[in-house]
Amino acid sequence: MTDDVAFNGILTSNIAEDIAVCNDEFIEEELEVNPAVQHSENYHIDSAKTEDQILGQHEDESDIGKPSPSESGLSKRQIRKQKKFERLKQQRKEKRAEEKLRQKEKNRKLAIETGQTPRMKREFLKGALERSVDVNIVFDLSFAALMSEKDAHKVAKQVHRCYSVNRASEKPLKIHLTGIDESMKKVFQHCAPGYEFWQMSSQTEQPYEEFFKMQIENKKLHYLTAESDNCMDAIEHGRYYVIGGLVDHNAHKGHCHELATEKLVQTMRLPISEHIDMKTRHVLTINHVFEILLAKELGKEWKEALREAIPQRKGVQEKDEEELKAGDAAET
């Protein structure tokens, strides 16, 4: 019995020595990893603590002085998300600063090339209506019931494009919006917010045939359609040219021409076939028609105006001089 007690005492003593040695080795490793711990007067390691508990006492230098998750009331995951948010916020701030510098450099180059400062450019755009010429473009927007919502949005975007191009032109045309009912108003408010304040001559819910009744009676209004037999030779001041605001992907082919004929409105077409060849039908988007008229008013020839406005995907090819002469001879 005495031998057993002595043996157990020796075994317990050996285990205690092994634990002490392990703790000493671990402390030495900690001191090598974190030398600052050597100067801490309160540094103490309990031999009963495990390695995980000891490591848990030391935080990253970046967290020194910050409240612990329990003190801040946030979990570790929430703290990580907060740090990520702050990092992204700082990145956005830096990105905005870079964008401002790029815009400043762009304005500087523009001022050197054109002699026009951003303030001068804004004043130029604001004066579009005052410097506009007496050529009136009427957008017929009375086809909302015939279009899907997607196509109605395309109409609004194309008209918006026309307004932007016209506003920046040296010779803006006079713009009129007609037949813009409640459904089209909602579309424009979505696609072109602030359209009510555009610099244009008029906008009305009335259809164009009522709003411009006098111009129709005086034969000064023409509806532009691809199906018309009357070819436009030149743009005349004091005239009104109607562009149909219908995007239907040929679902209502010739509809604008039929309606204009029924209302005894004169129709007219652009001289496309007289100057270029196209592989597709001579039906153009709203903004393409407008850009052709604007380019012609700025003094460009029909061929140049058509080539610049009509996209190449329509297979545009210029006619040579012999074809043009043959066409002129056939007309006479």
| Residue 43 near residue 37, CB atoms below 8 Å | yes
> Tell me, what's the pLDDT at 135?
96
SS3 labels along 91-149: HHHHHHHHHHHHHHHHHHHHHHHHCCCHHHHHHHHHCCCCCCCCCEEEEECCCHHHCCH
Q: Which of 138, 177, 162, 103 is nearest to 285 (CA)?
A: 162
| Token output for 144 | 């909302």
Q: Is the dihedral of CA 162, 166, 169, 174 positive or negative?
A: positive
Residue 51, CA atoms < 13 Å, CB-side half-sphere: 9
> Tell me, what's the pLDDT at 66?
55
> Tell me, what's the pLDDT at 42?
44
The architecture of the domain spanning 132-331 is 3-Layer(aba) Sandwich (3.40)
- Regions of the chain where pLDDT drops below 50: 1-8, 10-12, 15-16, 19, 21-22, 26-27, 29-62, 329-332
Distance between CA atoms of residues 156 and 143, nearest Å: 12
| Residue 173 near residue 137, CB atoms below 8 Å | yes
Domain boundaries, the chain: 2-61, 81-124, 132-331
> Tell me, what's the pLDDT at 39?
45
> Tell me, what's the pLDDT at 33?
45
| Residue 273 near residue 306, CB atoms below 8 Å | no
Assign 269 to helix, strand or coil: strand
pLDDT digits (tens, 9 = 90+) for 202-232: 999 999 999 999 999 999 999 999 999 999 9
> Tell me, what's the pLDDT at 314?
66
Distance between CA atoms of residues 128 and 177, nearest Å: 17
> Tell me, what's the pLDDT at 38?
45
> Tell me, what's the pLDDT at 65?
52
Q: Which of 231, 258, 225 is nearest to 244 (CA)?
A: 225
